[in-house]
Chains A and B, each alone.
Chain A
Amino acid sequence: MATVEKPATFVGTRQLRKEDPELITGAARFVDDISLPGMLWLGVVRSPFAHARIRSIDVSKALELDGVVAAYTGADLEFAAPLLMAWAINDQVKNPPHNPLTKDKARYAGDAVAVVVAESRALAKDGVVAVEVDWEPLPAVTGIREALADGAPILHDDFGTNDAGSWSIAGDSPVPTRGPSAPFFDDPDLVKIKEEYSLARLIPNAMEPRGVVVDPNVAMGEYTVYSATQIPHILRTALVISNGIPEAKLRVVAPDVGGGFGSKLEVYPEDAICLAVAQKLGRPIKWVEERSENYVATLHGREMLQQIELAATRDGDLKAVRVRLTVAMGAYLRLVTPGIPMLGAWLYHGCYDCEGYDLEYTNVFTNTTFTDAYRGAGRPEATYAIERAMDTLARELDIDPVELRRKNFIPTESFPNYTIASGLTVDSADYHGTLDKCLEVLDYDAVRAEQRTRRDRGDRKLLGVGFSTWIEMCGLAPSRVLSALNYAAGGWDAATIELMPTGTVRVLTGVSPHGQGSATVFAQVVADQLGVDYDDVEVLHGDTATTPFGMDTYGSRGVSVGGVALHAAGEKLIAKARTLAAHELECAEDDLEFAGGNFTVKGTDRSVGIKALAFSSWTAHNLPDGMEPGLQATHLYDPPNFSWPNGAHCCVVEVDQDTGSVDIVRYLAVDDCGVQLNPMLVEGQVHGGVAQGIAEALFEEAIYDDEGNLATGTMTNYLVPGPPELPSFEVHDTVTPSPTNPMGVKGIGEAGTIAAPPAVINAIVDALAHLGVRDVERPATPERVWRAIQEAKEGRS
């Protein structure tokens, strides 16, 4: 490999990652790598039943084992409050108390009922097996429709229903829509389509399972919690509430964290339990999840039933969109479970202009693992519905799906800051530009010609092409908006920059990356801004003891909120340095220009470097009157709007009519995430996101059997794709800066996962449309594709 010439500027370059040296050599420290003197291992006794009353729990046989130190049931471990649920979407929300250890009954297979504490990992496991629970199995319900049916088993007896509450745009949105949808659906001159999609339940599968280590100092009442989490700051606040420890005495550390995808954006029973046990025993406690435990104990995502209706003119002018969702909550509401569908609620008309818009969703309890945020959270669901429905509308109207999209795109000249039909305001976009680029790379006409040729020849392998012109709202989120949505916290973030006496730079951020590469891009930003060397910038994150209080990493907010906070802190730091430079150079501040790390008196060669200023600010021997010593700055940034990335993805598939198997021939992604700080990392995010989106479309589905057992309970039967199952991706971009922040950035973490599923399914349906196939339920397994072909042939599709 050639060595890279040091670039003049770092932002916008493919800077290699600061994170990598420890990760490629095995020197990283994940939670499971932490061992402390006197540490005990904790194992969790979980319900084997989806729904069962606890008659009694006998831990005596576990306690008889050598090396088992303690065992606790829900009756033995006192908590100050149930686990925090932070998003009561409106007054109707039904939020059952979620105790870390359930006391009355188990509500899903995997529900935690007791814990065993022992001298080793293996002994804790032996102890778990020795605990005897006398269960009274109850009828269970795992399907959304079944849970709402009369006579269904009720999860939370106090509610008398599994309906967890509803939310609607008309009744609950803080911003008005352009108009109601009903008049358009009542208009006899308009064409209407009505689609129903069933979205499979997904298991996030971050490669690192979760784990918790708690280090107590009981004499001082101080506790350090090491958790494989995306949200150390939020988790600390949540544990203060559940465990009753003063916030200043609780430190939460997210060490190296092996992926999250939303699954570690959570406050879990095990976090609170390990802390409570450490409080009780005064010894360090460690719990590490096994993968099959992860499948039942870590959040799931996506499962919902969608109904989407479109009304359009005969020539393809979209007039209204109406949506009805029924969403699986699982057994409990976790941190933000009931609000997940809301994150997509304004996006079901996609990047298309229309006049009428309505959406309503109903949340439902089922005897399954709780659901919550999984990469994209609400927005992949919205994009799937509108992008699939647009293809159906195109076929109904006999218009090319590309032309239908173009006809309805919000025009480029509407921006910046265009208020869309659902009521939110989109910052900037050029939907035509991204789609044009996609078509150009694809050579659309050639693909269509090949498709016709194969059909005409009677080939068994048919070609299909599918598009997804997606948008999202990310950069979660403006605090005032969150308030209006009944979310319990703010959406700002914080950064501190310290210029050290010897000239190196320490950056402290409130976001908590776990694979994104934020330390790299933040160092790029600061190196350019302050004119210092990239290698001289250290970025610290994920420790509540060292970093400013922030709102952590999820929702593509690392750069669009955390990065913008950092940039603002840099401006403050430069302002102070300028005052000090003017003092030292005996000139007016306006006479100084700052470039390459030096303040120079305009038109002269008199200058002082920012590192020299750092040293003199630290000695404080000669500061202007009233100036505080030190050269550091902190900024808390609350974004005034969401950021709105978008793009055009295209998938070309080959479908074998005889076997139903699907091969992805090409996958093109043209994404616009605004200004790119490090294109290499942007590509990486697109690759990984698209991979997860393709997996969602073709492979992955968590399946419960009739009794509520997770039938896909291990990695052997839940199909996380390996290297042979995925294609190479063709990744391109357009750049439309966001006008919302001075860096012009938007966000890219969720793009691929949002865009890919409808592109893939649209391609499969496109390949088979001439046979009469209108839909293939996802994941589009060979069996499902084959059945769709047979049913179409029999005229039942």
Chain B
Amino acid sequence: MRHVSLTVNGQRTELEVEPRQLLVYALREQLGLTGTNVGCDTSSCGACTVLLDGESVKSCTVLAVQADGCEVTTIEGLAANGELHPLQRAFQEAHALQCGYCTPGMIMAAASLLADNPSPTDDEIRHGLEGNLCRCTGYQNIVKAVHAAAGA
């Protein structure tokens, strides 16, 4: 077992993990943060996207030990002081989710995208989110939601 120190959603956390433990399962199964979902085993779908020191990563492709000393933000940590994040509001208002399974990862990826590019074009949004798959929406309303959040 290895010792890992993380700051998750602003909270300092100490964990004992197997060396092979993936960050996503440390978050889900050891910290109970089940909002981050797992949709594939090849780093293709992006459902498990979280922010690691502010940058979006696929948490199924990061070992928990690699995140030692890092700050992690998950979907549960996005709303501040009881207020939804503009992306969360925009996803609901633009009907950018149906089953909602890809949504936490999609929102985290979009947060990272907007941090880098606060007013992206349609094309920049589509390419910026190319690592995140959604099977329900056809992406059009996701693009709309990201625009709305960018303007918020």
Q: A residues bordering B, Cβ < 8 Å?
A: 1, 16-17, 19-30, 32-33, 35, 121-122, 205-209, 256-259, 261, 290-292, 514-517, 680-681, 683-684, 687-688, 690-692, 714-716, 720, 722-724, 726, 728-729
Q: B residues bordering A, Cβ < 8 Å?
A: 18, 20-21, 25, 28-29, 33-42, 44-45, 47, 74-76, 78-79, 84, 88-93, 95, 97-104, 107, 122-123, 125-127, 129-143, 148, 152
A259 in contact with B125 (CB, 8 Å): no
A25 in contact with B137 (CB, 8 Å): no
- Determine the chain B residues whose CB is within 8 A of the CB of A688 once the complex forms: 98, 135-138
B130 in contact with A687 (CB, 8 Å): no
Interface residue SS majority, chain A: loop
A291 in contact with B45 (CB, 8 Å): yes
Tell me the complex Cα distance, A25–B36, Å. 10
Q: Distance in Å from the Cβ of A128 to the closest Cβ of chain B?
A: 14
B40 in contact with A20 (CB, 8 Å): no
User: Which residue of the partner chain, among B40, B76, B139, contacts A26 with CB atoms under 8 Å?
Assistant: B76
Q: Distance in Å from the Cβ of A380 to the closest Cβ of chain B?
A: 16
A207 in contact with B90 (CB, 8 Å): no
A515-B136 contact given A23-B97, A24-B84, A680-B95, CB 8 Å threshold = yes
- Determine the chain A residues whose CB is within 8 A of the CB of B138 once the complex forms: 687-688, 690-691, 726, 729
- Nearest residue (CB) in A for B152 is A1
Q: Distance in Å from the Cβ of B56 to the closest Cβ of chain A?
A: 14
User: Which residue of the partner chain, among B90, B101, B130, contacts A258 with CB atoms under 8 Å?
Assistant: B101
A24 in contact with B42 (CB, 8 Å): no
- Determine the chain B residues whose CB is within 8 A of the CB of A22 once the complex forms: 100
- Determine the chain A residues whose CB is within 8 A of the CB of B130 once the complex forms: 722-724
16 further A-B pairs in the complex, CB-CB below 8 A; given A16-B93, A687-B137: A24-B103, A26-B76, A258-B100, A291-B44, A515-B98, A516-B98, A684-B95, A687-B138, A688-B98, A688-B135, A714-B40, A716-B44, A720-B135, A722-B131, A724-B126, A728-B143
A291 in contact with B41 (CB, 8 Å): yes
Q: Distance in Å from the Cβ of B18 to the closest Cβ of chain A?
A: 7
A687 in contact with B140 (CB, 8 Å): yes
B135 in contact with A261 (CB, 8 Å): yes
User: Which residue of the partner chain, among B18, B39, B74, B95, contacts A208 with CB atoms under 8 Å?
Assistant: B39
A258-B99 contact given A688-B137, A716-B42, A726-B138, CB 8 Å threshold = yes
Mind listing 9 A-B residue pairs with CB under 8 Å? A22-B100, A24-B92, A25-B88, A121-B25, A122-B18, A122-B21, A208-B101, A259-B98, A292-B41
- Nearest residue (CB) in B for A514 is B99
A728-B107 contact given A122-B18, A207-B134, A722-B132, CB 8 Å threshold = no
Q: Distance in Å from the Cβ of B44 to the closest Cβ of chain A?
A: 4
User: Which residue of the partner chain, among A27, A515, A687, A691, contacts B35 with CB atoms under 8 Å?
Assistant: A27
- Nearest residue (CB) in A for B33 is A26
- Determine the chain B residues whose CB is within 8 A of the CB of A26 once the complex forms: 33-36, 74-76, 104
Q: Distance in Å from the Cβ of B106 to the closest Cβ of chain A?
A: 9
B133 in contact with A25 (CB, 8 Å): no
Q: Distance in Å from the Cβ of B139 to the closest Cβ of chain A?
A: 4
- Nearest residue (CB) in B for A687 is B138
Q: Distance in Å from the Cβ of B36 to the closest Cβ of chain A?
A: 7
A723 in contact with B101 (CB, 8 Å): no
- Nearest residue (CB) in B for A692 is B135
User: Which residue of the partner chain, among A27, A35, A207, A729, contacts B45 with CB atoms under 8 Å?
Assistant: A207
B139 in contact with A17 (CB, 8 Å): no
Tell me the complex Cα distance, A209–B37, Å. 10
- Determine the chain B residues whose CB is within 8 A of the CB of A256 once the complex forms: 100
Tell me the complex Cα distance, A683–B94, Å. 11
Tell me the complex Cα distance, A433–B138, Å. 26
Which A-B residue pairs are the 10 nearest by beta carbons? A26-B35, A258-B101, A23-B100, A515-B99, A691-B138, A715-B44, A26-B75, A687-B138, A291-B40, A33-B34
A1 in contact with B40 (CB, 8 Å): no
- Determine the chain A residues whose CB is within 8 A of the CB of B35 once the complex forms: 25-28
Tell me the complex Cα distance, A726–B130, Å. 11
- Determine the chain A residues whose CB is within 8 A of the CB of B134 once the complex forms: 207
Q: Distance in Å from the Cβ of A243 to the closest Cβ of chain B?
A: 28
B152 in contact with A720 (CB, 8 Å): no
Tell me the complex Cα distance, A782–B130, Å. 20
Residue among B47, B88, B95, B125 with max Cβ neighbours from chain A (10 Å): B95
A1 in contact with B89 (CB, 8 Å): yes
- Determine the chain A residues whose CB is within 8 A of the CB of B95 once the complex forms: 16-17, 680-681, 683-684
- Determine the chain A residues whose CB is within 8 A of the CB of B142 once the complex forms: 723
- Determine the chain A residues whose CB is within 8 A of the CB of B25 once the complex forms: 121
- Determine the chain B residues whose CB is within 8 A of the CB of A715 once the complex forms: 40, 42, 44-45, 133
- Nearest residue (CB) in B for A718 is B44
A25 in contact with B98 (CB, 8 Å): no
A292-B129 contact given A122-B18, A258-B101, CB 8 Å threshold = no
Q: Distance in Å from the Cβ of A119 to the closest Cβ of chain B?
A: 12
B45 in contact with A259 (CB, 8 Å): no
Tell me the complex Cα distance, A291–B135, Å. 14
B39 in contact with A684 (CB, 8 Å): no
- Determine the chain B residues whose CB is within 8 A of the CB of A20 once the complex forms: 91-92, 97, 100
A259 in contact with B129 (CB, 8 Å): no
A515 in contact with B90 (CB, 8 Å): no
B79 in contact with A25 (CB, 8 Å): yes
- Nearest residue (CB) in B for A28 is B100
B44 in contact with A24 (CB, 8 Å): no
- Determine the chain B residues whose CB is within 8 A of the CB of A17 once the complex forms: 92, 95
Tell me the complex Cα distance, A256–B104, Å. 14
- Determine the chain B residues whose CB is within 8 A of the CB of A722 once the complex forms: 129-133, 139
Tell me the complex Cα distance, A517–B133, Å. 20
Tell me the complex Cα distance, A430–B123, Å. 37
- Nearest residue (CB) in B for A292 is B41
- Nearest residue (CB) in A for B86 is A1
Tell me the complex Cα distance, A82–B42, Å. 34
- Determine the chain B residues whose CB is within 8 A of the CB of A24 once the complex forms: 75, 84, 88, 91-92, 97, 100, 103-104, 107
Residue among B39, B92, B100, B102 with max Cβ neighbours from chain A (10 Å): B100
- Nearest residue (CB) in B for A516 is B98
- Nearest residue (CB) in A for B74 is A26
- Determine the chain A residues whose CB is within 8 A of the CB of B152 once the complex forms: 1
B99 in contact with A259 (CB, 8 Å): yes
Tell me the complex Cα distance, A142–B138, Å. 31
Tell me the complex Cα distance, A714–B40, Å. 8
Residue among B99, B103, B134 with max Cβ neighbours from chain A (10 Å): B99
User: Which residue of the partner chain, among A1, A259, A292, contacts B90 with CB atoms under 8 Å?
Assistant: A1
- Determine the chain A residues whose CB is within 8 A of the CB of B45 once the complex forms: 207, 291, 715, 720
A728 in contact with B100 (CB, 8 Å): no
B136 in contact with A259 (CB, 8 Å): yes
A205 in contact with B135 (CB, 8 Å): yes
- Nearest residue (CB) in A for B144 is A728
- Determine the chain B residues whose CB is within 8 A of the CB of A33 once the complex forms: 28, 34
B101 in contact with A1 (CB, 8 Å): no
- Nearest residue (CB) in B for A517 is B98
- Determine the chain B residues whose CB is within 8 A of the CB of A517 once the complex forms: 98
- Nearest residue (CB) in A for B44 is A715
- Determine the chain A residues whose CB is within 8 A of the CB of B41 once the complex forms: 290-292, 714
- Nearest residue (CB) in A for B75 is A26
Q: Distance in Å from the Cβ of A689 to the closest Cβ of chain B?
A: 8
